[in-house]
Amino acid sequence: MVDETKNTTNTDRTSRSAESREKTARRKPWSPPSLLDAPTPPEGYVYRWIRESMVGQQDQANMSKRIREGWEPVMAKDHPDFEAPSIDEGKHAGVIGVGGLILAKMPTETVAERRHYYAQLANDQMDAVDHNLMRESNPIMPIDNPSRSTKVTFGSGGSKG
């Protein structure tokens, strides 16, 4: 009996030199669509979804706070090439929005200032907690200053000999 699989040649096969990366690029695997897709923000801006309504009721307090923080609603007409749902009626008509959320933008420098403000606020709170803890320290059993740093080591940490 003769094994025919070893002696056959594939004439339909293309050489590796004839292939190119453009032709063999992998396609993106399927994934469920996101309800909160957003267009790419313009240079110097950051986009964020903010709550405009909840369970069909307007959230005036949240919108007012976000507007005072510096967030501005993004209009659908500003992104004609992006297929986005927009609010059809009411105060925010024409704004990109879905499910009680609207897309808002803020300049990147304002976002950085906001992050710095909240980071400083958190640091001040931790300092207050540490101060309160140290106030409770007893000379008989003193409390060391709390250490908030972490150290990552790999292996046993011992010296090699």
Q: What is the DSSP letter of 34?
A: P
Q: Does residue 50 form part of some domain?
A: yes
Q: Does residue 64 form part of some domain?
A: yes
Range of the domain at 79: 45-107
Tens digit of each residue's pLDDT, the chain (161 residues): 555 555 555 556 665 555 555 556 678 888 887 778 888 899 999 999 999 988 888 889 999 999 999 999 999 898 888 887 888 888 888 899 888 899 999 999 999 999 999 999 999 999 898 888 877 777 776 667 666 677 788 877 655 54
Spatial neighbors of 117 by CB under 8 A, at least 6 apart, are none
Q: What is the DSSP letter of 142?
A: P
> How many structural domains compose the chain?
1
pLDDT (0 to 100) of residue 156: 73
Residue 149 in tokens: 């740093």
Residue 74 in tokens: 């993004």
Q: Does residue 27 form part of some domain?
A: no
Q: Does residue 150 form part of some domain?
A: no
Q: Does residue 72 form part of some domain?
A: yes
Q: Does residue 31 form part of some domain?
A: no
pLDDT (0 to 100) of residue 47: 95
